[in-house]
Amino acid sequence: MTSFKVNGDEVEFAGDESTPLLWVLRDHVQLTGTKFGCGVGQCGACTVHVDGSASRSCITPVAAVANKSVTTIEGLASSDDELHPVQKAWLELDVPQCGYCQAGQIMATVDFLRSNPNPSDADIDSGITNICRCGTYARIRRAIHRAAELSGKGD
């Protein structure tokens, strides 16, 4: 039995401990905001936070999150349903095209801005490695700068 928290709620998973966290979140916990993309940790559509750090859930075995805290896109807004500054920036700048990868993009950005609160374009280009098949990288970059401003950390 693997026990951990998801968005503040206790979860127990009695299945195979090598099951990727992605599938536990989607199939067992019924949180479908985290998406399957490549299955090998390259695209980032499956990005969640494990104890506050971005993690590719498609390659993270559920055993690796035992007694840890997982945050998904569904848990990113505050308890009073106030959107996170990154979510606000994404909406304000109309970032998504198809939207499939955007939950992972947002989760990666939240972690990125914690360690780099006022990034340059070059910092963003090297630090955000998630893939967007629609090519919305220019809008993503603008939204990251806007999220830094909304957080009170950008210029």
**DSSP letter for each residue of 41-60:** SSS-TTEEEETTEEEETTSS
> Cα–Cα distance between 138 and 41 in angstroms, integer?
23
User: Is it true that domain 2-75 has CATH number 3.30.540.10?
Assistant: no
> Cα–Cα distance between 51 and 136 in angstroms, integer?
28
pLDDT at position 106, please? 98
Residue extents of the structural domains in the chain? 2-75, 85-150
Query: 1 near 19, Cβ under 8 Å?
Result: no
**Confidence class for position 153, pLDDT limits 50, 70, 90:** low
> Cα–Cα distance between 2 and 41 in angstroms, integer?
22
CATH architecture of 85-150: Orthogonal Bundle (1.10)
The amino acid that residue 142 corresponds to is R
Residue 2: name the closest of 82, 50, 48, 65 by CA.
65
Residue 128: CB atoms within 10 A of its CB come to 21
- List, for residues 48-96, the tens digit of each pLDDT value: 999 999 999 999 999 999 999 999 999 999 877 799 999 999 999 999 9
Rounded to whole angstroms, what are the CA distances from 18 to 22, 24, 71, 136?
11, 10, 20, 34
- List, for residues 1-15, the tens digit of each pLDDT value: 999 999 999 999 999
- List, for residues 94-121, the tens digit of each pLDDT value: 999 999 999 999 999 999 999 999 999 9
Query: 19 near 64, Cβ under 8 Å?
Result: no
Please, is 39 exposed, middle or buried when counting C-beta atoms within 10 Å of its C-beta (0-12, 13-18, 19+)?
middle
